[in-house]
Amino acid sequence: MLIGHRYEHTPDGDLRIRSHNHVLGGMVLMFLAIGFGIPAAALMAGMKAGSLLNTLLAGLAMVLPPAMSLLALWSSAPREILTVSRRNDVVERRRRMLLGLREEVEQFALGRPAALELRVSKDARPAIGTLWMILPDGREHCLSPGNVALLPGRASTERWLGEVAGYLQVAVTRVEREVAGAEARPVAPLPAWRRRAAAFNAVHAPPPRVVRKATTPNAPKASDPNDRIGLLARAVVALFGLFLAVLELSQALAVGTALFTGRLRVSGFRTGSHSYLWDERPMAFSVHTLFGVIEVLVVGYIAWQCLRISATGVIKPPK
- 218 domain-assigned: no
Whether residue 70 is found in the same domain as residue 136: no
pLDDT at 48: 57
Q: Which amino acid is at 116?
A: L
- 153 domain-assigned: yes
Whether residue 116 is found in the same domain as residue 199: yes
Whether residue 197 is found in the same domain as residue 115: yes
Whether residue 162 is found in the same domain as residue 239: no
pLDDT at 172: 86
- Global pTM reads 0.61
Of 178, 208, 238, the one marking the end of a domain is 208
Whether residue 241 is found in the same domain as residue 192: no
User: Domain with 115 in it: what CATH number?
Assistant: 3.40.1530
Please count the structural domains in the chain.
2
Domain range spanning residue 196?
A: 111-208
- Beta-bridge partner residues of 129: 120, 150
- pLDDT (tens, 9 = 90+) of the chain, 319 residues, equals 788 888 988 888 888 999 888 888 888 888 888 888 877 776 666 555 566 777 777 777 788 888 888 887 777 788 888 998 888 888 888 888 877 667 788 888 888 888 888 888 777 677 788 888 888 888 888 888 888 888 888 888 889 888 888 888 888 888 877 654 444 444 445 454 444 445 545 544 444 443 333 333 343 343 444 456 777 778 888 888 888 888 888 888 888 888 888 888 776 655 667 777 888 888 888 888 888 888 888 988 998 888 888 888 777 765 5
- 128 domain-assigned: yes
- 319 domain-assigned: no
- 219 domain-assigned: no
pLDDT at 49: 52
Does residue 277 contact residue 266 with C-beta atoms inside 8 Å?
Answer: no
Whether residue 177 is found in the same domain as residue 117: yes
